Amino acid sequence: MSCLNNYMLRAFCLVAAAWIVPASAENLPEPVGHVARVEGAAYISSRGYTNAAKVGQAIVPGVALSTGAKGALGVILGDGSVLSFGPHSELTLDDYRFAPAADELRLRATLNRGTLNLITGDMARLDPQAVAVETPEGRVGVRGGQVLMKVTP
């Protein structure tokens, strides 16, 4: 009888674990790009955590990207757009959606400080109004090509 009770207890635990774990796991957003270059101090902040940026690290919407005094960071997004940051920079990737078949094209970012060199990819070619960068002074619509921005505190 004890073997049967032991078996029933293990079966119950397995069923309970399979049922409870997915309910408590967070739905993580799909990666929309990756870190291509890191020099010096560069960081990625998401969901209350800040980590040193590493080449190959996934980028998801909502992340904050920052660099230190001698830092530089390069990111490539899914449509081929390239974002490069110089020292003392801070940018938040507010929203990114590249789904041409569903007619969903959006790149929204906020540059709080520092420098940003943005080379637009396929998104700006498909919809020239899809790319915009907010700054403390206002919004910059990027219609395609390359733009270099500097925000000073």
pLDDT at 113: 97
Residue 20: pLDDT band with limits 50, 70, 90 = very low
Higher-pLDDT residue of 65 and 13 is: 65
Residue 127: pLDDT band with limits 50, 70, 90 = very high
What tens digit of pLDDT does each residue of 21-49 get? Answer: 444 346 778 999 999 999 999 999 998 99
pTM: 0.80
Check: CB of residue 97 under 8 Å from CB of residue 104: yes
Residue 153: pLDDT band with limits 50, 70, 90 = confident
pLDDT at 12: 47
pLDDT at 91: 98
| Strands annotated E in the chain | 33-39, 42-46, 49-52, 58-59, 64-67, 72-77, 82-85, 90-99, 104-119, 131-135, 138-142, 146-151
pLDDT at 29: 82
Nearest to 65 by CA among 43, 34, 94: 43
What tens digit of pLDDT does each residue of 59-102 get? Answer: 999 999 999 999 999 999 999 999 999 999 999 999 999 999 99
pLDDT at 23: 43
Check: CB of residue 31 under 8 Å from CB of residue 58: yes
Check: CB of residue 89 under 8 Å from CB of residue 70: no
**64-87 exposure pattern, b = at least 16 Cβ within 10 A, e = fewer:** bbbbeeebbbbbbbbbebbbbbbb
Provide Rg for the chain, Cα atoms: 21
